[in-house]
Chains A and B, each alone.
Chain A
C-alpha cells in the first residue's frame, strides 16, 4: 500500500511568495495532521482534520497560514505571504481514526526554504 504522499519534496522560494504544500493521506484514513519541524521548536502540530473537517487549528502560527481538506484524499497547507522564518520541514500524517492510541503514519515531508 502507498503511504502518505507529500509534494513537493523540496521547495525554495523568495520572501513574499505564496507556497502551497500538498498531501495525500493513506486510503481509508479519516484523520489528517500537519506538523512543522524546526531545529528551534522541534515538531509542532499545526492543524488536524477528521472526516475533512478542521478539528484543532490552535497550532497555526498566524493568518498567513491556511489549510484545507476538500475531500478525503487531498489536503493543502498554504503560506501567503511566505517569510524566511517559515523555513522548516513540513510533515503530513494520517490515521484511521482519531481515538487515543491510534497510530499516525507520516509522509516524507516537504523541506521549505524561504529566502
Chain B
C-alpha cells in the first residue's frame, strides 16, 4: 500500500538553526512527493514538490530531494526564522493511475524561538 512516515514532533529550534524534517514513504508505482505547510488557524499551503526521482523541490529557502533508492523526501532549510513556525506535512500522490489524491504523513510541528 501507500503510506508516509514523518519524524515525530515537536521540533524546537533557535532562529538561524539548520532544519531537517525526515520523511520516508512506501508506494506502489512512481509517486509524486509534496511538502505542505499549515500555519495556525489556516489551511494547508504547498511548500514544494517533486514529481520524479532525483528531482529537487525548493521554495522560500526550503529544499527536498526525491530519493528513490532510500524512499525519502527529507525537508531542509539552512537558517530557520520565527515565521517558519508551523506544522509541516509530507505527502505523496500515488503513481500508476490518473489521480492526484494525496496521502499525508502525521505532520511535524516546528517551533522556532528567537
Contacts and interface: CB of A to CB of B under 8 A. Distances in A.
Contacts of A106: 36, 43-45
A102 interface: yes
B32 interface: yes
Nearest to A41: B106
Interface in A35-49: 42-43, 45, 48
Contact count band on B: 20 to 34
Contact count band on A: 20 to 34
Contacts of A100: 30-32, 51, 93-95, 97-100
A51 interface: no
Contact of B99 (A43, A98, A109): A98
Given A100-B31, A100-B95, A56 B44 contact: no
Contacts of A109: 42-43
A107 B103 CA distance: 17
Interface in B35-83: 36, 42-46, 49, 51
Contacts of A33: 101-102
Contacts of A102: 93, 100
Nearest to B100: A102
A107 B43 contact: yes
B46 A98 contact: no
B86 to A, nearest CB: 14
Given A43-B89, A43-B104, A55-B99, A101 B43 contact: no
A100 B51 CA distance: 8
A45 B102 contact: yes
Interface of A: 4, 31, 33, 42-43, 45, 48, 55-56, 91, 93, 95, 97-109
9 contacts: A33-B102, A42-B104, A43-B44, A45-B101, A100-B95, A101-B51, A104-B46, A104-B100, A104-B102
Interface of B: 30-32, 34, 36, 42-46, 49, 51, 89, 93-95, 97-107
Pick the 3 closest A-B CB pairs, nearest first.
A106-B43, A101-B32, A101-B51
